[in-house]
Amino acid sequence: MIPSRLLTVSLAIILGVSAVLVPSALAEELQVVLGGRYHEPLTAYKVGDRLFINAKQAGELYGGQVYWYPVSGRVQLGFRGRVLQLVAGLAAASVDGRTVSLEEPVVLRAAQAYAPLSFFVGKDFSELSGMESQFDTRSRLLTVDRRSSVGAVRWYSYQDYTRVVLELKKPLGHSAAARGVQGVEVSIPFGVVESPEEGTVDDGLVLGYGLRQDAKAARWSVRFARPGLKWRLRELSGPRRLALEVAAVALGSVVPDHTEELESVPAATAVPDALSAAAKIPAQVVASIVGVAPTSVRVSTAAAASSVAGPVRRRIVIDAGHGGKDSGGTGRRGTLEKDINLTAAKELAKLLEQEKVFEVVLTRADDTFVPLDERSRIANEGHADLFVSLHCNAHHNSQENGFEVYFVSEKASDPEAERLAQLENSSLELEGKTPADAEADLILHAMTKNESINAASELAALVARDLHRRVDLVQRGVKQAGFYVLRGTDAPAILVEMAFVSNRRDEAKLGSRRYRSRLLDGIYAGLVDYAKRQGWLEKSVRSDTR
């Protein structure tokens, strides 16, 4: 094996290329969000239709060791013993001696090397740096998150047992062992944790969990509430994940078969890597129900014919606010609310589908304008059990931040809630309606809403509580206002303002995959807590008579 230093010298000789200057171009700054927080911007140049970024700055951003050789126009980046080299004039990079093609040659500008941005957001650099990147061409925002193979952790408190789940994003082996009588520890050799986690469950069976990174393994521990509890570790698919189930009695008697199981894993037994090949994402279908266009509704195949005997799958309609010609709020960096809402809705639907307890329907699955009353009709004619509308707040005061959860009321809880309801209801104008028209449509409907409003207030409180446990956003509380989309829905309905897109820090968090995952985990936990209180998670087998 050639030492990296000799490799560097030999490549410099072989690739000896005179500096190539980029044609006249204007410099610009690209805003960067690193792990949900704003980072120092990167200097960039646009040449033709290609964007180039400062390779030295990029190396520092991604945590590499940076060496710049201005005479030869060469930049060397080191990542945990691995070496990347970029040379001015070459449309190729060297990654540990392996040649990787670039869309355009590296160029020089102001005595600095600039490489195509497309390389830094691509697969080769992601594997080298251990980071994942996304670039929004409209907002000119580069979002960077740590690349991991283990995590996140989620938990579900059912009627008779608790399931704590850990996602595995690569074909990794694992082994589990009891930690006395008070818990279990799972070791995942060569697993990489996105960030250490400590969580509290405290539901009478599980106290909490921890996830940490050791030198050569990820370690996941689950702490029991008392001695004598039964547990088992199973591997589930779609996506691949480990599920540690804890109960007071034999698990086979209390855990319903509503998840896709690959293999039961006894304690202290490693799972072969080959198992991952069997972990297939369940097929999805785009279905048309109650006369709704196929592009507007996406339903899990796990929710097929509800008349078949088995545990009832409760139907949740997830509404991605705004869409199409109604863009909603706009962030300081150009982030459109409608895009964040749609991304979050799809991610939340994926979480709900994993446990096979819920049937998921989206009011829109793409950038489509859907009238407010159509969203309610999808829920009502589809016999929804719950309705969740996802939004991002906006305010002329850019310092306003945080999340809040709403349920419907004819009288707003405060002036700010009234302002927000008017803002969200303003899309009626795009439908050719006036607030007075909408009011007439809802007079009779409002008479039947009392029971669902009471249930919605409970649901909103649970979602707000679980969100507060998982994210470091300001909790602005549970509020009431006359949102048209909630007033027209028969089922218990809530509207979640996930954060303020008009706030610089909130906008960054909304754009971060890692942070958005935590936020949606909180919403999901609130839905599961509500389902548990309603007795929806009981083991009993029955037919759905709706």
CATH number of the structural domain spanning residue 361: 3.40.630.40
Sorting pLDDT into bands at 50, 70 and 90, what band is 12? very low
Q: How far, in Å, CA of 29 to CA of 40, rounded?
A: 9
- Specify whether 141 is located in the same domain as 158: no
Residue pointed to by tokens 């850019």: 398
Q: How far, in Å, CA of 108 to CA of 74, rounded?
A: 10
**Weakest mean pLDDT among 56-70, 150-164, 493-507:** 150-164
For 331-392, give the DSSP string.
-TT--BHHHHHHHHHHHHHHHHHHTSSEEEEES-SSS----HHHHHHHHHHTT-SEEEEEEE
Residue 442 domain-assigned? yes
- Please give the biggest Cα pair distance in the chain: 82
**Inter-residue contact 453 to 408 (CB < 8 Å):** yes
Residue 538 domain-assigned? no
Structure tokens of 199? 């969580």
What is the domain count for the chain?
3
Contacts of the segment 143-146: beta carbons below 8 A, 24+ positions apart: 143/32, 143/33, 143/511, 143/512, 143/513, 144/32, 144/33, 144/34, 144/35, 144/39, 144/61, 144/62, 145/34, 145/35, 145/36, 145/194, 145/512, 145/513, 145/514, 146/35, 146/194, 146/195, 146/514
Q: What is the pLDDT of residues 456-483, one digit of tens each?
A: 999 999 999 999 988 889 999 999 988 8
- Output 408 or 294, whichever has higher pLDDT: 408
Is the predicted pLDDT of residue 79 greater than 90, yes or no? yes
Expressed as residue numbers, the domain containing 135 is 4-146
Highest mean pLDDT among 160-164, 274-278, 301-305: 160-164
Structural domain ending residue among the three candidates 103, 126, 146: 146
- Specify whether 94 is located in the same domain as 171: no
- Specify whether 233 is located in the same domain as 195: yes
| Cα–Cα distance list, 480 to 406, 424, 436, 490 (Å) | 5, 13, 20, 17
- Specify whether 220 is located in the same domain as 201: yes
**Inter-residue contact 502 to 393 (CB < 8 Å):** yes
Residue 545 domain-assigned? no
Q: What is the pLDDT of residues 509-519, one digit of tens each?
A: 998 888 898 89
User: If we measure between CA atoms, which residue out of 148, 178, 149 comes closest to residue 244?
Assistant: 178
Structure tokens of 286? 């785009």
For 478-536, give the DSSP string.
EEEE--HHHHT-SS-EEEEEEEETTSHHHHHHHH-HHHHHHHHHHHHHHHHHHHHHTTT
Is the predicted pLDDT of residue 444 greater than 80, yes or no? no
**Inter-residue contact 166 to 241 (CB < 8 Å):** yes
Sorting pLDDT into bands at 50, 70 and 90, what band is 427? low
The terminus-to-terminus CA distance of the chain in angstroms comes to 68
Q: Report, as an integer, the average pLDDT of 417-428.
A: 67
Residue 446 has a pLDDT of 53
Residue 516 domain-assigned? yes
Is the predicted pLDDT of residue 275 greater than 50, yes or no? no
**Weakest mean pLDDT among 38-52, 296-310, 459-473:** 296-310
Residue 349 domain-assigned? yes
Structural domain ending residue among the three candidates 278, 299, 326: 278
DSSP code of 301? G
Q: How far, in Å, CA of 161 to CA of 196, rounded?
A: 26
| Cα–Cα distance list, 411 to 118, 259, 355, 442, 480 (Å) | 51, 42, 37, 15, 7
Q: How far, in Å, CA of 116 to CA of 135, rounded?
A: 12
Q: What is the pLDDT of residues 225-272, one digit of tens each?
A: 999 999 999 998 878 899 999 999 888 767 665 444 433 333 322 222
Q: How far, in Å, CA of 288 to CA of 396, rounded?
A: 40
Question: One-letter amino acid identity for 418?
Answer: E
Q: Report, as an integer, the average pLDDT of 31-51.
A: 89
- Tell me the pTM: 0.72
For 85-136, give the DSSP string.
EEEBT-SEEEETTEEEE-SS-BEEETTEEEEEHHHHTSHHHHHHHTEEEEEE
Sorting pLDDT into bands at 50, 70 and 90, what band is 13? very low
Q: What is the pLDDT of residues 202-235, one digit of tens each?
A: 889 999 999 999 988 999 999 999 999 999 999 9
Residue 27 domain-assigned? yes
- Specify whether 480 is located in the same domain as 376: yes
Structural domain ending residue among the three candidates 91, 118, 146: 146
- Specify whether 72 is located in the same domain as 179: no
User: If we measure between CA atoms, which residue out of 369, 375, 368, 348 comes closest to residue 360?
Assistant: 348
Q: Kindly report the average pLDDT of the chain as a whole number.
A: 80
Helix (H) / strand (E) element for 445: namely helix 435-446
Is the predicted pLDDT of residue 304 greater than 90, yes or no? no
Q: What is the pLDDT of residues 90-122, one digit of tens each?
A: 999 999 999 999 999 999 988 899 999 999 999
Q: Check which CATH number belongs to the domain holding 248 and give it.
A: 2.60.40.3500
Residue 479 domain-assigned? yes
Q: How far, in Å, CA of 344 to CA of 471, rounded?
A: 15
Q: Report, as an integer, the average pLDDT of 481-500.
A: 92
- Specify whether 453 is located in the same domain as 340: yes
Dihedral-angle region of residue 479 (phi above 0 means left; psi in -120 to 50 means alpha; beta otherwise): beta
Q: Check which CATH number belongs to the domain holding 56 and give it.
A: 3.30.457.10
Judged by DSSP in three states, 209 sits in: strand
Q: What is the pLDDT of residues 158-196, one digit of tens each?
A: 878 999 999 888 789 999 999 888 999 999 999 988 778
Q: What is the pLDDT of residues 318-341, one digit of tens each?
A: 999 999 999 999 998 889 999 999
Residue 485 has a pLDDT of 87
- Specify whether 321 is located in the same domain as 441: yes
Q: How far, in Å, CA of 387 to CA of 375, rounded?
A: 10
Q: Is the peptide bond before 152 cis (omega within 30 degrees of 0)?
A: yes
- Specify whether 325 is located in the same domain as 391: yes
**Inter-residue contact 281 to 350 (CB < 8 Å):** no
**Inter-residue contact 183 to 228 (CB < 8 Å):** no
- Specify whether 49 is located in the same domain as 187: no
- Specify whether 124 is located in the same domain as 174: no
Residue 288 domain-assigned? no
- Specify whether 101 is located in the same domain as 160: no
